[in-house]
Homo-oligomer: A and B are copies of this chain.
Amino acid sequence: MNVNTKIHPTAIVSPKAVIGLNVEIGAFTIIYDSVVIGDNSVIGAYCEIGISSALSDGSPLVIGSGSLIRSHSIFYQASSFGDNLTTGHRVTVREGTKAGKNLQIGTLSDLQGDCLIGDYVRLHSNVHIGKKSTIESFVWLFPYVVLTNDPTPPSETQQGCTIRQYAIVATSAVILPGVTVGQHALVAALACVGKDVPERSIFGGVPAKLITATSNIKLRDGSNRNAYPWTTHFHRGYPPEVVNQWLRESHLELDQ
């Protein structure tokens, strides 16, 4: 254990866990054996980090540097996260989750494992990610969104959903098994999406149908600007190099 690490005296930390420099571990938290935590990370109180499971492949839980895991969260072993993971409270992450950097996982979200997640993905509160899901970079999933995987429940067939880059799925929508939501597409609140959503289109309803193109939606801020692609106006929390790239692409797009 590194001398700079600040472990609360009530925490229970395995001596086998690999814990970086300047890591804080909160009260009553348990860190199991098969865990690697990057430098400058903070683990809140009442967390369980690195639970072993018969379903795991034996690989450790790897959490990148600069991460913040808020209290009451549960991570199994055999998943990996890039730098700057940030979670809300009470998230659950099962084995086989492979995520890029700067992932945000909201309070109460439940990742069932065996999934791929890109960079800068933002999962709001209480999102449920079924196994075999693929979530590309810069995706937003809002509260109570569910990505399903079993086309004929219950069965042994798992057809994960694919959410392409920059897509947005609004509150309480359900994405049915095997569906792809296209780049920069928007799924409306409470939509039940049973077929692929083309890029830059909006689907809504139960069952979900095409409503319009995202290009027809204006911001509600008094400006007359387009709301989508959202990368043209929403930059909070993204680093300058990412935003600059978006703005360059946007400029080119407008020119075409």
Contacts and interface: CB of A to CB of B under 8 A. Distances in A.
Interface string A202-231: 001111000000000111110000011010
A30 B30 contact: no
Contact of A144 (B92, B122, B128, B188): B128
A176 interface: yes
At the interface, is chain A mostly helix, strand, loop or mixed?
loop
A17 B191 CA distance: 46
A148 B108 CA distance: 17
Contact of A153 (B168, B218, B236): B168
Interface stretch (A78-86, A155-163, A246-254): A155-163
A192 interface: yes
28 contacts: A27-B30, A30-B45, A71-B74, A72-B74, A74-B89, A88-B92, A90-B90, A92-B107, A108-B108, A110-B143, A122-B154, A142-B153, A143-B146, A144-B146, A146-B189, A148-B170, A152-B217, A152-B218, A153-B170, A154-B168, A156-B234, A172-B172, A176-B189, A177-B220, A188-B192, A190-B192, A190-B206, A205-B207
A157 B220 contact: yes
Nearest to A159: B220
A156 B12 contact: no
A207 to B, nearest CB: 8
A229 to B, nearest CB: 11
Contacts of A172: 144, 146, 172, 174
A232 to B, nearest CB: 11
Given A72-B90, A108-B110, 5 more contacts: A27-B30, A71-B74, A125-B128, A154-B230, A157-B221
